[in-house]
Amino acid sequence: MKWTKDLRQGTVIVSPGEPVDHENAEDFESRLIPSVEEASRSGGCLIIDFRNVDYMTSVGLRALMMAAKEADLAAVKILVTGLNETMREIFHISGFEKLFVIHESLESALAATSTT
Amino acid sequence: MLVRFWGTRGSLPTAMRSSEVRDKLIGALKASNGRHFQSDAAIGNFVDTELDFPIRATYGGASSCVELDGTSDEYLVCDMGSGLREFGLDAIQRSRQGRKKTYNIFMSHLHWDHIMGFPFFVPAFDPDVTIRIFGGHDTIEQALRRQQDRISFPVPFDFLQARFEFTILIPGEVTEVAGCRVELLRQHHDNDSYGYRFSCNGQSVVYSTDSEHKLEDPLSIQRVVDFFHNADLVIMDTMYSLADAVSMKADWGHSSNVVAVDLCHRAKARRLAMFHHEPVFDDNTIRKLHLDTIRYEELMRKESALEVLCAYDGLEVPL
């Protein structure tokens, strides 16, 4: 899957580059989990920027949950940003909006990392 | 074929509280806005067409029991939750009109909410009745007898007058029953559960309840997609939100509305009936879940639309 990774102010920022469904969910998870580990070794924060993700099915959401569980164990804070309207609705309907801290912008998410 | 829902609640039968009835009356009177109706028929029309479901009706509280009617002159039923009692009484009336007194009952599994209607199944007391019970478990008869042990129930199983046949089904094998070709699929649930696919007169209905779908296992998911393929109706356990199903309620053996839509989309199923409703949910909550599920289906649709129904006690779905 298309994937970009950046490191800013000690925060790992990952950005999947396409929708996540059963075709690429395993790939998504296999990139996401190591990013949690990387965040653990750096500043302790991971931002997932979904600006290039039009939609995500249940398998992608489950992978996100696995990352959250890993993050809990590693004391990593996950912040989510870049949700389009569809992704916002998916997070709402699935109940994931209650499980993740969602920020309006990457800048807002980065600012939040500095307060942790 | 007509699919008739006699019980749609999960885990434990529920009864509506007086306060909920009061809320519905308040909602109906507010919606009528002081209007004067000329007849009962006019009131009925107002109720049927202008009131939202949670105001004019209820999803009901009987536990799992679904009938597939019209496949043959025999009865065909899935599960014996508390909805079985009302089905039995209705079937007695139909048999008085000449319907054959043969009941074919397919068991998803033997947890209490799926067998608790059996002691109140009045046709079991009729010596002219034949009751054939099918399932993937080899302990069905034991479960039914144990439920009617004196410690739990005053009427022992051996007091029943109907003729009983128990048949253990094997996943991968096809059985012909009551005009239908029946296949089953072993599902992830404590002590296993089984989903059924009924193909009857060119139509297919899948009954898949009490099944947790392990999204991290693509092969098992593909088996489910294949089992649902092109079904005219998929009746599926949608008890939890996805967030709950993959976090605090992981391994509790149930599924979510989001997974149900994803599986049905992949399988190109035509209709989904949300089923096995969480007992703590009131009518407003279930209605919201239904609307959310319709919206999720719209958001994720790639090909033809999947119609999303929300099963309630008394719902009839013609196919």
pLDDT, tens only, A36-63: 999 999 989 999 999 999 999 999 999 9
For an interface test with A, which of B215, B220, B238 has the most A Cβ atoms less than 10 Å from its Cβ?
B215
What would the mean pLDDT of B89-115 be, rounded to a whole number?
Answer: 98
Coil, strand or helix at A108: helix
Closest Cα in chain B, distance from residue A55 (Å): 8
Pairwise CB contact (< 8 Å): A89 & B257: no
Find residues 80-109 of chain A whose CB sits inside 8 Å of chain B. Answer: 86, 89-90, 92-96, 98-99
Q: Is A18 helix (H, G, I), strand (E, B) or coil?
A: coil
How much of chain B exceeds pLDDT 90, in percent? 98
pTM, 2 dp: 0.96
pLDDT given at position A114: 77
Query: Once rounded to an integer, what is the mean pLDDT over residues B105-133?
Result: 98
| Structure confidence at residue A27 as a pLDDT band (50, 70, 90) | very high
**pLDDT computed for residue B208 by the predictor:** 98
B203-218, pLDDT tens digit by residue? 999 999 999 999 999 9
Cβ–Cβ gap B215/A99 under 8 Å: no
Would you call A65 and B246 a contact, using CB atoms and an 8 Å cutoff?
yes
Mean pLDDT calculated for residue range B140-156 = 97
Q: How many CB atoms lie within 10 A of CB B141?
A: 13
What tens digit of pLDDT does each residue of A59-97 get? 999 999 999 999 999 999 999 999 999 999 999 999 999
Rounded CA separation B281/B53 (Å): 15
CB-CB neighbors (< 8 A) of B295 in chain A: 89, 93
Three-state DSSP class for A32?
Answer: helix
Given B216, B244, B299, which is nearest A55 (Cβ)?
A: B299
How close does chain A come to B266, measured CA to CA in Å? 9
In chain A, what residues touch B243 (CB-CB under 8 Å)? 65, 94-96, 98-99
As a whole number, mean pLDDT of residues B65-86 equals: 98
Q: What CA–CA distance (Å, rounded) separates A89 from A97?
A: 9
Task: Please answer yes or no on whether A61 and B246 come within 8 Å at the CB atom.
Answer: yes
Q: Is the torsion defined by CA of A66, A72, A76, A79 positive or negative? A: positive
Q: How far is B249 from chain A (nearest CA, A)?
A: 13
- Per CB-CB distance under 8 Å, the chain A contacts of B296 are 89-90, 93-94
State how far the Cα of A62 lies from the Cα of A73, in Å rounded to an integer: 17
**Set of chain A residues whose Cβ sits within 8 Å of the Cβ of B303:** none
pLDDT band at B303 (very low <50, low <70, confident <90, very high): confident
Q: How do strand B233-237 and strand A45-49 relate by DSSP bridges?
A: unpaired
A65 with B266: Cβ contact below 8 A: no
Mean pLDDT confidence for B20-37: 97
Distance from CA of A100 to the nearest CA of B (A): 11
pLDDT of residue A95: 95
Do residues B114 and B107 make contact, with C-beta atoms less than 8 angstroms apart? Answer: yes
Scanning A28-67 for CB atoms below 8 A from B yields 55, 57-59, 61-62, 65-66
B262 interfaces chain A, CB cutoff of 8 Å: yes
B276: left (phi over 0), alpha (psi -120 to 50) or beta: left
**pLDDT > 90? residue A116:** no
> Would you state the pLDDT for residue B231?
98
Contact A94 B216 (CB under 8 A): no
pLDDT band, residue A111 (cuts 50/70/90) = very high
Check if the beta carbon of residue B245 is closer than 8 Å to that of residue A101.
Answer: no
Which residue, among B49, B61, B72, B48, has the nearest Cα to B14 in the 3D structure?
B61
Q: Do A99 and B257 touch (CB under 8 A)?
A: no
DSSP string across chain B: -EEEEEE-B-SS-----HHHHHHHHHHHHHHHTT---SSHHHHHHHHHHHS-HHHH-----PBSEEEEESSSSSEEEE--STHHHHHHHHHHHHHHTT---EEEEEES---HHHHTTGGG-GGGG-TT-EEEEEES-TTHHHHHHHHTSTTT-SS-GGG--SEEEEEE--TT--EEETTEEEEEEEESSTT-EEEEEEEETTEEEEEE-S----TT-HHHHHHHHHHHTT-SEEEEE--B-HHHHTTTTTTSS--BHHHHHHHHHHHT-SEEEEESB-TT--HHHHHHHHHHHHHHHHHH--SSPPEEEE--TT-EEE-
Q: Say if B305 is an interface residue toward chain A (CB within 8 Å).
A: no
pLDDT in tens, B185-198: 999 999 999 999 99
The stretch B217-227 carries a mean pLDDT of: 97
Query: ipTM value of the model?
Result: 0.94
Residue B8 predicted with pLDDT over 70: yes
- Mean pLDDT for all residues in chain B: 97
CA nearest to A102, candidates A50, A59, A26: A50
| pLDDT tens-digit readout, B235-285 | 999 999 999 998 899 999 999 999 999 999 999 999 999 999 999 999 999
- pLDDT value at position A115? 64
